[in-house]
Amino acid sequence: MCYVVYLESERLILRKFTDDDWEDLYEYLSNEDVVKYEPYDTCSEDECKEIAVWRSKNEAFWAVCLKENNKLIGNIYFHQNEPKEFLTWEIGYVFNSSYYGKGYATEASKRIMQYGFQELGAHRIIANCNPKNTASWKLLERLSMRREGHFKKKASFNKTSDGKAIWHDAYQYAMLEEEWFRMI
Ligand SMILES: CC(C)(COP(=O)(O)OP(=O)(O)OC[C@H]1O[C@@H](n2cnc3c(N)ncnc32)[C@H](O)[C@@H]1OP(=O)(O)O)[C@@H](O)C(=O)NCCC(=O)NCCS
């Protein structure tokens, strides 16, 4: 398959990462509040340099930039799950907190979903989030995704001081192809 590397919406450009994106990445991946629900800790400048290089080679990561000044304000993750014949993609997002509350994450996610359903032929797009991450599931509901599951103690990103997993619940949201085409 030939993958697209550039998408546009009203206010945003979604493009592949480049090595030079590390400073903008550092601006939000070094923020404890931003990475609180992510499976990783805050990142140093050196780590962000490595992440930018790694993401530039990984088709799942999209850099989200403002059209008005090219500022990178966040990222979308969009990856096809296995088995491939189930035509299911998973979406994720992390934004710079200075740009919350303006609808940018909604706009970027919608554009990626359009790409998924209308260009890649996705049958289902899903997303997982911690129920405590209200901003995340509110975003999924703004996107008209349906809460399909509440999984108990599904994941663990942290351990107690004596090495025991700290489990947390997960909501799973989804949208089907026919729901997308009914909505647009
Ligand atoms: C999840 C996350 C991306 C949501 O960010 P957000 O700013 O709430 O989402 P949006 O950018 O879509 O902005 C929506 C808000 O802007 C408002 N808004 C303003 N202008 C808007 C517009 N033109 N269109 C849509 N919404 C608009 C909405 O009303 C909404 O406000 P509300 O939350 O008070 O109802 C953000 O909290 C984040 O990056 N968190 C850290 C990473 C994370 O936890 N990721 C998820 C892991 S599962």
- Protein residue with its CA nearest to atom 26 in ligand 1: 103
Q: Is the residue at 60 inside a domain?
A: yes
Q: Does a structural domain hold residue 1?
A: no
pLDDT at 4: 75
Domain extent for 42: 6-183
SS (H, E, C) the chain: CCCCCEEECCCEEEECCCHHHHHHHHHHHCCHHHHCCCCCCCCCHHHHHHHHHHHHCCCCEEEEEECCCCCEEEEEEEEECCCHHHCEEEEEEEECHHHCCCCHHHHHHHHHHHHHHHHHCCCEEEEEECCCCHHHHHHHHHCCCEEEEEEEEEEEEEECCCCCEEEEEEEEEEEEHHHHHHHC
Whether residue 175 is contained in a domain is answered as yes
pLDDT for position 102: 98
Of all protein residues, the one whose alpha carbon is nearest to atom 1 of ligand 1 is: 136
CA of 75 to the centre of ligand 1 (A): 13
Task: Please state whether the peptide bond connecting residue 39 to the residue before it is cis, i.e. omega within 30 degrees of 0.
Answer: no
Q: How confident is the model at residue 83, as a pLDDT? A: 98
Of all protein residues, the one whose alpha carbon is nearest to atom 42 of ligand 1 is: 94
Domain assignment of residue 57, yes or no: yes
- Residue 2: the pLDDT is 56
Low-confidence residues in the chain, pLDDT < 50: none
Tell me if 36 is assigned to some domain. yes
pLDDT for position 115: 98
Q: Cα(173) to centroid of ligand 1, in Å?
A: 16
* Site residues for ligand 1, CB cut-off 6 Å: 34, 37, 92-95, 100-106, 129, 133, 135-136, 138-139
Question: Hey, whose CA ends up nearest to atom 25 of ligand 1?
Answer: 103
Q: How far, in Å, from the CA of 180 to the mean position of ligand 1?
A: 20
Q: Is residue 154 included in any domain, yes or no?
A: yes
Domain count along the chain: 1
Residue nearest to atom 37 of ligand 1 (CA): 135
Cα–ligand 1 centroid distance for 139 (angstroms): 6
Say if 18 falls within a structural domain. yes
Question: How confident is the model over 103-151, as pLDDT tens digits?
Answer: 999 999 999 999 999 999 999 999 999 999 999 999 999 999 999 999 9
How many beta carbons lie within 10 A of that of residue 46, not counting itself? 10
What's 25's domain CATH number?
3.40.630.30
